[in-house]
Amino acid sequence: MLMPREKRLACLVVGMHRSGTSVLSGMVAELGATQGKTMMAAKPENPKGFWENELVVQLNDQILHTLGARWDIPLLEPWDEHLDFVLGLFSERAKTIIVDDFNHADFISLKDPRIANLLPFWKSVLRDLGYEIRMVQIVRAPIEVFQSINKRNGFTHSHSDTLWLDSISACLDAPVDEVLLINHESLHTLQESVVTAMSQYLQLPESGVPDALAKFSTQCYDPGLRHFSKPAMQPALTVADSVYALLEVFQEPTVLSATELGQLRQKLVDLYSKHQAFKDKLEIYLTAISSVDCLRHKSAPDQRPTSVSARVFSLFEATLKVDQGESDTQVKEALERATFDAQQNQALMERINLLETNLAVLDSASTQKAIWAERRYQRASRSFLHAVKQRRDIEEKISEIEGHYHKLEEHFYSIDTLRSDLADWKGMFTEQALEFGRRFDHVLEQVWQTTRWKMGDRIVELLNKLVGRQESCESKEVLARIQSDYRHWGESLAKDYLPPVVDGLLEDAKAQSAPIIDADSVIFGTGVATSKDAFVKSAQARLDAFLQSQAELDFSFVDRPDLSVILVLYNRAELTLPCLEALLANNDSLSLQLIIIDNDSSDQTAMLLERVVGADIIVNQKNVGFLRACNQALELVKAEQTLFLNNDAFVSQGAVERAYRALQRCDNVGAVGARIVALDGLLQEAGSTCWSNGTCFGYGRGEDPNSFKFLFEREVDYCSGAFLQTKTNLLKQFGGFDDQFAPAYYEDTDYCLTLNENGLKVLYDPQVVVRHYEFGGSEGSGYAIELSNRNQKKFLVKHRTQLAGHKPAESGDVDNARFASAWPAKKILYIDDRVPHMYFGSGFPRSNFIVNCLAGAGYRVSILPLNFPNEESVTSLYSDIDRRIEVIPSVGRPEFMQFWDMHKGYYDLVWVSRPHNMEFVHPVMAAAGGIKKVVYDAEAIYADREHALRNLGLGNSELELTYDEMVKNELVLAASADALVAVSRRDRDIIASNIARPVPVIDCGYGVKIRRSKSSFEVRSGLLFVGNLDRSESPNVDSLLWFYDLVWPLVKKQLPNITLHVVGSNQADVLECVEDPNIVFHGVVDDLYQFYDAAAVFIAPTRYAAGIPLKVQEAAANGLPTVVTDLLTSQLGWQNERETLSSEVGDPCRFAENCVRLHSESALWRTIQDNAFTAVQSDCDVAVFENRILTMLRDVLKANSNVTLLSKHREYK
């Protein structure tokens, strides 16, 4: 009987079909493994049984079919990139099989030769179910496997060897730490050693070995079932035989470590290379002999040997006899005659070789087409499955939307009902409110001097709810009287002093009017809105159930923790439990030390703390207040970072890790705060501000937490102590929270300003998301108001010097106040067509480089996507944009005038990219005023593109301007800027010579990442085209179709097997005409390096464009030589035959010739590669461009503005 294990164990029995996996699986079963209820029945070829689960086999067959393979057809390409998709389709089914059919047993085994190719899938499934994985691999001689599988399935020797090698390679590539390797021969000769080794490897009791061995010998093993044996001294004739020779040294069961598996894999790679070289030479030799043989015997075909191999053997035997001196006159004469014939027929042999070569080319072409067809089938299968999944997702989304629609109907009905109730209630409440007003005049001054935003905002919120936002005289009178009579802040007023008719009304109103949170909200952890009453009711039920169970919360840690979490409790156990559960569930990687200070709670807190394991818990005999309890906990802190967390705050997935990483990577950051979202789904705080009089407010309170203005990182004055993560050494350096603010209020604000005063920043990180009940640990009385007022005065005295530099409260300047006053920085508005993501191409990679450079230099950058203002989603926004950058949505051309009118004078500099944007925004800004500085980034001289189109007969024939006139027209507004940026030296010179007055002009191209590929010319093949192909009228689509129609046929004539790889989004309808199996469209890819590393030539057959071809520079930076048109060489300043090969626009013959030359001539290829790489290193140096940009900005921001409104230039299309 098996002893209970600390962790479940899954043994995977892998190996090639007909290799003895069934016998081995039977041995594991006798050692106690569960193999499921639905076992595969015995068959004539396996009369003892398979010890194989039928459901697992069926599932594996379905997965292989999904990937375009079968048990007897190997996968043509790795499928790791599809793992998430396969898991999404099949993981739940696999888990159900293990749980239901295997009873989720502690020790299970899975045997199916198909598992070898599906190891990543089963590893993920089993580990999710809590299993430790052990893999046992059996290896049998390939000749024995062939003989067995040939008898059962009729497979050829080569087919059998292919499957054998595929299985071996998959097993050796397995993502496991070690493997027990067993030779098939040892099952017959070393059974006791095998059982013992298996037991030790699986960490099973040794006492079970004799019994397992006895059962195995009688119930599993039958020596008569071994039909075939490998000859004792058989030479290694095939690749499979050679591979087996490497493995055959492991005669006894052997455990191979990850290092040993890696060494074995390397030996296999070396072996494959040697076999390929030998195979190439042997094929040449056999072809020659076969050709001679056919010629010599074509008059008497019956006398020819039956095969080339026989012919080779006979010649070898004859040669051997001559070498041994045997007097075989006939043999000698035959050899002399063969030698003479070979000498006389040299020309004939060359012709035969040429014919053979052409035949091989044709055979290779047909093979390539077959492979392409097979891969097309695989892609089609996957596309179909993706489509099925997408359709299912859409149907689920439709169902979800219908549900939301019904909720909205109920929502509106509830609001109508509520409005009716409020109308009836208003008259009665007004009279009662006026009566209260006559009783509490002395409290007015206290209330309206409340300086703590948590209370002040709550008062305003309540009063607005009570009397509405109407401007009637009656409402104002009621509001004034309620203000003067207010005594208890928050909901306490309604519940303690107003009649029962209002009790709970505010909570119901909030629940009914709460917004429906969209999918992006859920992704960012803000979750679903709920009311406090509903939450507390559910939390209390959860707490009661938890206390009645035997469950525990385990916060144990080993050695030194990464993060110490301080929780101060005073009652509200029903809130503390979900706080602790969220802390455990949503932390994946950090080791936590939990420190709890209980301030003499009187509810169920003591019972809850009895269930908290591994925490440091102190129970005070009286309530010492929040501040002193935190300082008390500080003495127990062991980690390098400390988190102050309210017991009514619930961290989202990854929140503590993100805050931890932010503090780790930034030496000048002292604390990190969260995006705090209230239970109703609205924002509570996105960083907080201190006004100059010491009053505070939480930025964004009551707004949508997923609004873009709350999604970028900022330095702030302070962050709420509901979630405040800081460095422990700083806490101890400053002595914790300042005791003068005890028992509570302003301690977190004071600490953050102290950090600022000591040169350390407080960072608001929007990725750190926390849900907050708010006031879960507060008594909510007038005493809190008194404490806040008192501590506000102390705070003002302590930080008077720093606060003098803060904005005054009466200014209402929230746009500036949302940033830390201690860290002023220049603000830049960057205007472009869209948010400049790298994958858009068309100059946006360069814009991406510029905005990230500006943010990295400390400027406060806001991007305004003028022409695509609403295309971004929360999830894609910061895929390649610095998280310190603000993105301003919903401000397109119609809204820009209003936007600028509201923000004029706010930005220190406006950076406008592209001529059409400058033409639109500059007159608006100049007319409204408020421009400080303007930088105009031409991005490209668009007249170049129009000029090229005209030369091709594609331009605007009605436009009668010359090229020079078009350039001058385009640059009229350039003279109104304080500085100009060009994309190249050529464009810089053109701009400088065509503007109306002297303006600084710099050239700033694209800072290319230099990572030269090490792949040699000899291992590369094919052409590569990169570009966005979504718009039919774009230069990229035009160039690709021109190449396909006129150049590609000429290239294929010289290089029949060449392949063109096309990378980039390809939604243009006109691309449907491209039908060639050797042209492969890959769509958008995350990283182009794999294509740069494999292709031989990069092509850019561009016929019209402006600016600079960034993709050509990027290809050169990765070590891939290029073939381009002369339009691009002029833009780049490169020379033909030096940095690239170029031809005139519209010359397909020369372009095709250049492709063939560069693809075929190694010396030329290396010369172009070296020269282009050197040019890119000089032309695209990131540090040089950054220095130019930042120097230009420093000069511009120091100078007086030169911006004036100039007359609008003549329009052209």
CATH of the domain at 14: 3.40.50
Spatial separation of the C-alpha atoms in residues 261 and 176, rounded to whole Å: 10
Spatial separation of the C-alpha atoms in residues 1182 and 426, rounded to whole Å: 67
**CATH number, domain with residue 759:** 3.90.550.10
User: Does 775 lie in the same domain as 639?
Assistant: yes
Q: Quote the DSSP letter at residue 40.
A: P
DSSP H or E run through 844:
helix 844-856
Spatial separation of the C-alpha atoms in residues 1085 and 839, rounded to whole Å: 9
Q: Give the N- to C-terminal CA distance of the chain in Å, as an integer.
A: 86
Strand partners, 39: 53
User: Average pLDDT of 1089-1096?
Assistant: 93
Q: What is the pTM of this model?
A: 0.56
**CATH number, domain with residue 1097:** 3.40.50.2000
Confidence of residue 701 (pLDDT cuts 50, 70, 90): very high
Could you read off the pLDDT of 100-130 as tens digits, one per residue?
A: 999 889 999 998 888 888 888 999 999 999 9
Alpha helix ranges (H) inside 1055-1100: 1089-1094
User: Does 657 lie in the same domain as 732?
Assistant: yes
CA distances from 271 to 102, 233, 259 (A): 41, 20, 18
Alpha helix ranges (H) inside 519-641: 519-523, 532-548, 573-585, 605-609, 626-634
Residues in CB range of 147: below 8 A, 6 or more apart: 227, 228
745 contacts 455 by C-beta, under 8 angstroms:
no
Is there a domain that residue 287 lies in?
no
- What is the reported pLDDT for 998? 75
Is there a domain that residue 628 lies in?
yes
Spatial separation of the C-alpha atoms in residues 1178 and 847, rounded to whole Å: 20
Is there a domain that residue 371 lies in?
no
Confidence of residue 161 (pLDDT cuts 50, 70, 90): confident
297 contacts 311 by C-beta, under 8 angstroms:
no
Is there a domain that residue 346 lies in?
no
Query: Residue type for 130, please?
Result: G
* Domain termination site, one of 258, 274, 290: 274
Q: Quote the DSSP letter at residue 617.
A: E
DSSP H or E run through 1075:
none
User: Does 551 lie in the same domain as 504?
Assistant: no
Spatial separation of the C-alpha atoms in residues 724 and 750, rounded to whole Å: 13
Spatial separation of the C-alpha atoms in residues 760 and 1003, rounded to whole Å: 36
Token reading at 914: 């592209």
Least confident among 62-66, 748-752, 829-833, 960-964: 960-964
Q: Quote the DSSP letter at residue 42.
A: P
> For the CA atoms of the chain, what is the radius of gyration?
39
Spatial separation of the C-alpha atoms in residues 801 and 963, rounded to whole Å: 61
Confidence of residue 432 (pLDDT cuts 50, 70, 90): low
- What is the reported pLDDT for 289? 52
912 contacts 921 by C-beta, under 8 angstroms:
yes
967 contacts 990 by C-beta, under 8 angstroms:
yes
* Model confidence at 576: pLDDT above 80: yes
DSSP H or E run through 345:
none
User: Does 709 lie in the same domain as 761?
Assistant: yes
Which CB contacts under 8 angstroms, 24+ apart, belong to 148-156? 148/18, 148/227, 148/228, 149/17, 149/18, 151/227, 152/18, 152/45, 153/72, 155/72
User: Does 221 lie in the same domain as 145?
Assistant: yes
User: Does 536 lie in the same domain as 467?
Assistant: no
Spatial separation of the C-alpha atoms in residues 1127 and 1132, rounded to whole Å: 9
Spatial separation of the C-alpha atoms in residues 458 and 464, rounded to whole Å: 10
Print the domain residue range for 1066: 1017-1180
User: Does 737 lie in the same domain as 629?
Assistant: yes
Q: How far is CA 911 from the centre of its chain?
A: 30
Strand partners, 14: 137
Confidence of residue 584 (pLDDT cuts 50, 70, 90): very high
> Following CA atoms 1066, 1070, 1075, 1079 in sequence, which dihedral angle do they give, to the nearest 10 degrees?
-30
Confidence of residue 342 (pLDDT cuts 50, 70, 90): very low
SS (H, E, C) 408-434: HHHHHHHHHHHHHHHHHHHHHHHHHHH
Residues in CB range of 660: below 8 A, 6 or more apart: 562, 563, 590, 641, 725
Token reading at 1119: 């070590």
1039 contacts 1111 by C-beta, under 8 angstroms:
no
Confidence of residue 785 (pLDDT cuts 50, 70, 90): confident
- What is the reported pLDDT for 647? 94
Token reading at 624: 């010492």
Is there a domain that residue 338 lies in?
no
- 886-887: strand order across its sheet: 886-887, 860-865, 827-832, 909-913, 934-937, 979-982, 1001-1003
Residues in CB range of 695: below 8 A, 6 or more apart: 451, 452, 453, 456, 792, 809
User: Does 647 lie in the same domain as 588?
Assistant: yes
User: How many other C-beta atoms are found inside a 10 Å radius of the C-beta of residue 857?
Assistant: 15
Token reading at 923: 């007159």
Spatial separation of the C-alpha atoms in residues 37 and 24, rounded to whole Å: 19
- More confident of the two residues 344 and 82: 82
- Mapped onto helix, strand or coil, the DSSP state of residue 784 is helix
CA angle 134, 181, 266 (to 5 degrees): 100
588 contacts 657 by C-beta, under 8 angstroms:
yes
* Domain termination site, one of 234, 251, 274: 274
DSSP H or E run through 1124:
strand 1122-1125
Alpha helix ranges (H) inside 514-551: 519-523, 532-548
How many independent structural domains does the chain possess?
A: 5
* Domain termination site, one of 227, 259, 274: 274
Helix, strand, coil % (nearest 5) of the chain?
A: 50, 15, 35
Length of the chain: 1213
Q: Which bin fits 535, alpha (ψ -120 to 50), beta or left (φ > 0)? A: alpha
Spatial separation of the C-alpha atoms in residues 694 and 802, rounded to whole Å: 10
- More confident of the two residues 1020 and 1031: 1020
User: How many other C-beta atoms are found inside a 10 Å radius of the C-beta of residue 550?
Assistant: 6
Place of tokens 């005054």: 808
Closest CA to 74 of 167, 195, 212: 167
Spatial separation of the C-alpha atoms in residues 130 and 127, rounded to whole Å: 5
Spatial separation of the C-alpha atoms in residues 710 and 524, rounded to whole Å: 12
User: Does 485 lie in the same domain as 441?
Assistant: yes
What's the farthest any 2 CA atoms get from each other in the chain?
Answer: 139
Is there a domain that residue 548 lies in?
yes
873 contacts 840 by C-beta, under 8 angstroms:
no
Least confident among 399-408, 510-519, 702-711, 876-885: 510-519
Residues in CB range of 904: below 8 A, 6 or more apart: 925, 928, 929, 930, 931
Could you read off the pLDDT of 233-245 as tens digits, one per residue?
A: 454 456 677 777 7
Query: Residue type for 332, please?
Result: K
- Mapped onto helix, strand or coil, the DSSP state of residue 673 is strand
* Model confidence at 343: pLDDT above 60: no
User: Does 783 lie in the same domain as 651?
Assistant: yes
* Model confidence at 224: pLDDT above 80: no
Is there a domain that residue 1203 lies in?
no
- What is the reported pLDDT for 526? 40
Token reading at 317: 């035997």
Least confident among 245-259, 318-332, 401-415, 1020-1034: 318-332
User: Does 747 lie in the same domain as 885?
Assistant: no
Is there a domain that residue 1186 lies in?
no
Spatial separation of the C-alpha atoms in residues 121 and 881, rounded to whole Å: 34
User: Does 1126 lie in the same domain as 1089?
Assistant: yes
Confidence of residue 1212 (pLDDT cuts 50, 70, 90): very low
Top-confidence range, 251-260, 407-416, 714-723: 714-723
